[in-house]
Structure 1
C-alpha cells in the first residue's frame, strides 16, 4: 500500500507541474524585448495544449505544446517603447507587467564582465559612487544570472529583471552598465542587459560539447567536478548560457581571456568556434559580438601578449566582431582594471557605429596594416582606423622593439610622421638591417600609441617568430 501511495503522490505532483503555464526566468515582469523583431517566447504547459501570447501593443501568436508540454512561438514587437503587458494564456493565464521594447544585449565572460559597478573588495571601479547615485533610469534594465553549474544543458536560470537605480545599479556589471548607459543616452530607447558571467571561467567552459569535440585535447566531463566548475569544459554553457539560447537579442558583449593565458596558442581557434556555434544556435544570422582585449598585467610566467594577439586576430578575421582595446588602462598588479567606464564606452562605440548607424565617430584604435623598409634603414609602419592620424598625446612613444634577421630584439625609437596620416617610423641604432617591429608585446606595458580620437592601439608584432 505504501508503494501505491508514493506512486499516487508522484503522479499528482507531476500533473500539478504540467497543469501550470510556466515560463523561464527571463520572461518576467520588467523584461525588455528586442524591438521590431519576431521575438521568441517559450515555456511549458500540459501536452497538446493551445498557448496564446498577446502583446498589449496589438500583436498575438499561438502555439501547441508538444508531447512533453514544451512550446515556443514568435511574437512581433513594435518600435521601442512601453511599458506594455504580455499575457500568456494556457492552462492558466500569466500576465507579465511593465515590459519595455528596446535593444537587448547578452553579456558574458569572466570576472571583468562580472565585476559590479560597486567594485570588488579592495578593488574599486573609478567613479562608482557618483555613478550609482545618478543611475535612476527606468529605461535601463538588467537581468543578473545567478551562478550555477550543470553537467547537462539546463532549461532555466535564476535571476530577475531590475531597473537601474541607486538600490540596484551597484550590483550590475560595470562594463555592461556603462555600455547600456551610453547606448540609452544616444539612442533614447530602452536598453536591456542580460548578464551571465562567472569569474575565472575559461572559454572552454562556455562552449558546448559538439564544438569542443573539434579539439582533441579537450576532455568533456561526465560528472560535475568537485571544484572550479567555471574552469571545466561545457559547464558554464550548460547552466548559464544554454537557457538563454533563442532569446531575441541585438548582439553579444564578451569580456574573457585572462584564464586562457596559459593556452593562448589555442585561443583564436576556440574563440572563433565559440562565436560560430553561438550564432548557429541562436539562429539570428551573424549577430554582432564585441569583446574586450585583456589589459596588460605584470604577474605570471605566461606572455599575455600572445592572448591579446589571438583576440586581435579574431577581430580581423571573424565577421561582425569588434574589439575594445585596454592597453592604456591596465593595472600592473591587479587583473581588474578600475576604469570600467572607458571599457563600456569603447564597446558602445562599436555598436553605435556598426549597428545603429551613428556617423562621424571613431570605434577602433589604430590597427597595424603593413611594414615597409625606408632608404635609410628604418621601418615604416602604416595603420588602419586612424583617418585623422596618430598621437601619443605629448608623451614619449614607448615599448617599441626592433630586430634584424637574427631575431634579437632591441629597444627602439618611434616617431609619428606628420606629413601622412597613420604612418609611424621605427628604428634602433643597434640594428642596421631591421626586419621586424614589436609594440608592447609583453605582459606589462603602458599603451602610448593612439588615434587622435583617443582610442589606443593593440599590442602587435610584424613577425611570427
Structure 2
C-alpha cells in the first residue's frame, strides 16, 4: 500500500514537472498593462516545450510572427512597434496553449535604478517625508502611466526572470512606487502626451559594483581597487553589496526589454572611495549600454545631495566631483544637481519632486527635442585671475546667474599656500562670478560647495542649481 502511494505521488510529480516544462510561459515584464517602446524593434520572449514553435500576433498588425523554441525551452521573437497608442492585445500560441496579453500600450519606456533615494516611495520612509506627496498621490490617476517594480533579488548567477507586475498609475498604486521615477514619468507624459512605462529596479544602501556585470568588473578594475568595494572591506557581509549580485538578480532579467533610457540615483554608498567610483560608475554605464546593444543609450543621473552626518570632512564633495567628471568621460549622459535640497539630518531629501523634474528636463531636451527649456544647472567652465579676484565662468547660464536673493556664501578662495578662506562672491554679467577674500592678496585657486553639507544658492535663470 505504501509502495503504491509512493508510486502514485512520484507519477503525479513527474506529470506536474513535465507539464511545467511544456507550458507556454512569459517573463513577469511581458504581461498585461505593459508599455512597449514605440517605433522600434522590440523583443518578446519566454519559454515553451523544446523544439516547439510559438506564434505571436499583435493587434496592431495582421501579420503573425513565428519562432522556434530552442533545446533549452527558450524562445525570443522580434516585433516592430507602431507609433505611440493603444490599448492593444498580443496573442501568443504554441501547439498546446495560448495566452492573450491585454491592455498593452505603446509609448516611451525608461528604467529607474539606484539605491535608497531612487527606491524611496511617494509615501516616504518612516519619519522621512516626501514634500507634496499628498497632491502627487491624489492626482496620480492616469491610465497612460504604467509602473513596474522589480522585486529585490540578490543572486550569484544571472537570472532570467524577476518578480513584479505592471501597475496602472492610481492613488493606490503610486503610494509605494519610486517618487523620483513617478515624477519623471509624469513629466514626460504631460510634455509628450504619450504613454510612459517606468521600470523601477533599486535597493537601498547598495554600491555601484553590485549593479555591474562581473566580467566588466574583472576586466577593468584592478584587484587593489576591488579591495575597496564595500563587501570586500566590511566585517558585516551583506549579500546585496557583493559585486554583480544586483546586476544578476535585478538588471539581467530586464535586458531583453527595449527601453528608451535610464535614470539613476546612487553614490552615497561609494562615498568612502570616490577615486574608485570615478572608474566604476562610467564602467557600469558602458556595461549596460553594451548589454542593451545601444552605445548611445541615454543615461541621466543625480549628483548626490549634501548631507551633514557623513564621516570625513569632504567625502561627499569628492564623490560629487567624481559624478561631475563623468559628464566629460561619456557621451549621452546628463546630471541633475541637488546641491540646494540636501538635509543636514537626513540622507533622504524630501524634495524628490525637484529631482524627478530635473531628470526629466535632460530627457525632454536631449531625447525629445523640446526647445527653450533649461536642462542643466551651471557647470564650471574656466577661471581667470584678475588682481585680487578670481573670475569664474560657467556653462549652461545663457541668461546669466542668480542667487534668487539668497546669500552666496559657498565660495572659497586660496593663495599660493592653498589655504582656503570664505570668499566674497559677486555675480557678474555673462555667467561669471567674482570671488575675493581679504586674507588672499595673490589668489591661485577657487572652489564652490566643497563640503559634505552645503546649501547651494547659485543658479541659472531657469532655477537649476550649480554643481559643486
Q: Residue 142 of structure 1 aligns with which residue?
A: 147
Q: Residue 40 of structure 1 aligns with which residue?
A: 43
Q: Residue 370 of structure 2 aligns with which residue?
A: 358
Question: Following the alignment from structure 1 to structure 2, what is the Cα–Cα distance between the partners of residues 277 and 227?
Answer: 25
User: Any conservation in 1 of the 2:336–2:376 contact (CA below 8 Å)?
Assistant: yes
1:25 paired with 2:25, answer no
Cα deviation, residue 10, structure 1 = 5.7
Question: Following the alignment from structure 1 to structure 2, what is the Cα–Cα distance between the partners of residues 226 and 82?
Answer: 49
Q: How many residues align?
A: 454
Alignment of structure 1 residues 307-322 onto 2, 5 Å: 307-322=319-334
Q: Residue 392 of structure 1 aligns with which residue?
A: 403
Instruction: Classify the secondary structure of the residue corresponding to 1:297.
Output: coil
User: Any conservation in 1 of the 2:289–2:295 contact (CA below 8 Å)?
Assistant: yes
Q: Residue 290 of structure 2 aligns with which residue?
A: 280
Instruction: Classify the secondary structure of the residue corresponding to 1:168.
Output: helix
Q: Residue 206 of structure 2 aligns with which residue?
A: 201
1:233 paired with 2:243, answer yes
Q: Residue 279 of structure 2 aligns with which residue?
A: 269
Q: TM-score, normalised by structure 1?
A: 0.94
Relative to 1, partners in 2 of residues 1:166 and 1:378: Cα closer, same or farther, differing over 3 Å? same
Could you tell me which of 50, 53, 74 is aligned with 1:50? Answer: 53
Cα deviation per residue 1:308-339 (whole Å; 9 max; x = unaligned)? 00111112221100010000111111000101
Could you tell me which of 419, 440, 445 is aligned with 1:408? Answer: 419
Q: Residue 96 of structure 1 aligns with which residue?
A: 101
1:243 paired with 2:243, answer no
Question: Following the alignment from structure 2 to structure 1, what is the Cα–Cα distance between the partners of residues 64 and 133?
Answer: 42
User: Any conservation in 1 of the 2:286–2:295 contact (CA below 8 Å)?
Assistant: no
Could you tell me which of 410, 428, 444 is aligned with 1:417? Answer: 428
Cα deviation, residue 8, structure 1 = 5.3
User: Any conservation in 2 of the 1:60–1:75 contact (CA below 8 Å)?
Assistant: no
Question: Following the alignment from structure 1 to structure 2, what is the Cα–Cα distance between the partners of residues 400 and 369?
Answer: 15
1:70 paired with 2:79, answer no
User: Any conservation in 2 of the 1:246–1:283 contact (CA below 8 Å)?
Assistant: no
Cα deviation, residue 13, structure 1 = 3.6
Q: Residue 324 of structure 1 aligns with which residue?
A: 336
Cα deviation, residue 377, structure 1 = 2.6
User: Any conservation in 2 of the 1:448–1:456 contact (CA below 8 Å)?
Assistant: yes
Cα deviation per residue 1:144-166 (whole Å; 9 max; x = unaligned)? 11112211111111100011111
Could you tell me which of 59, 65, 72 is aligned with 1:61? Answer: 65
Alignment of structure 1 residues 117-156 onto 2, 5 Å: 117-156=122-161
Residues 308-317 or 336-345, more deviating: 308-317
Relative to 1, partners in 2 of residues 1:226 and 1:63: Cα closer, same or farther, differing over 3 Å? farther
Question: Following the alignment from structure 1 to structure 2, what is the Cα–Cα distance between the partners of residues 242 and 311?
Answer: 24
Cα deviation, residue 285, structure 1 = 3.2
Q: Residue 463 of structure 2 aligns with which residue?
A: 454
Unaligned runs of 5+ residues in structure 1 are 460-465
Question: Following the alignment from structure 1 to structure 2, what is the Cα–Cα distance between the partners of residues 45 and 144?
Answer: 25
Q: Residue 14 of structure 1 aligns with which residue?
A: 17
Cα deviation per residue 1:364-388 (whole Å; 9 max; x = unaligned)? 00000111111x2311111110111
User: Any conservation in 1 of the 2:22–2:50 contact (CA below 8 Å)?
Assistant: no
Cα deviation, residue 232, structure 1 = 1.6
Instruction: Classify the secondary structure of the residue corresponding to 1:171.
Output: coil
Residues 63-72 or 360-369, more deviating: 63-72
Question: Following the alignment from structure 1 to structure 2, what is the Cα–Cα distance between the partners of residues 24 and 227?
Answer: 31
Q: Residue 463 of structure 1 aligns with which residue?
A: none
Question: Following the alignment from structure 2 to structure 1, what is the Cα–Cα distance between the partners of residues 86 and 295?
Answer: 27
Residues 300-309 or 344-353, more deviating: 300-309
Instruction: Classify the secondary structure of the residue corresponding to 1:274.
Output: helix
Question: Following the alignment from structure 2 to structure 1, what is the Cα–Cα distance between the partners of residues 310 and 284?
Answer: 26
1:444 paired with 2:453, answer yes
Cα deviation, residue 6, structure 1 = 7.8
Question: Following the alignment from structure 1 to structure 2, what is the Cα–Cα distance between the partners of residues 76 and 287?
Answer: 19
Unaligned runs of 5+ residues in structure 2 are none
Question: Following the alignment from structure 1 to structure 2, what is the Cα–Cα distance between the partners of residues 60 and 426?
Answer: 67
Question: Following the alignment from structure 1 to structure 2, what is the Cα–Cα distance between the partners of residues 100 and 268?
Answer: 38
Q: TM-score, normalised by structure 2?
A: 0.94
Question: Following the alignment from structure 1 to structure 2, what is the Cα–Cα distance between the partners of residues 311 and 249?
Answer: 23
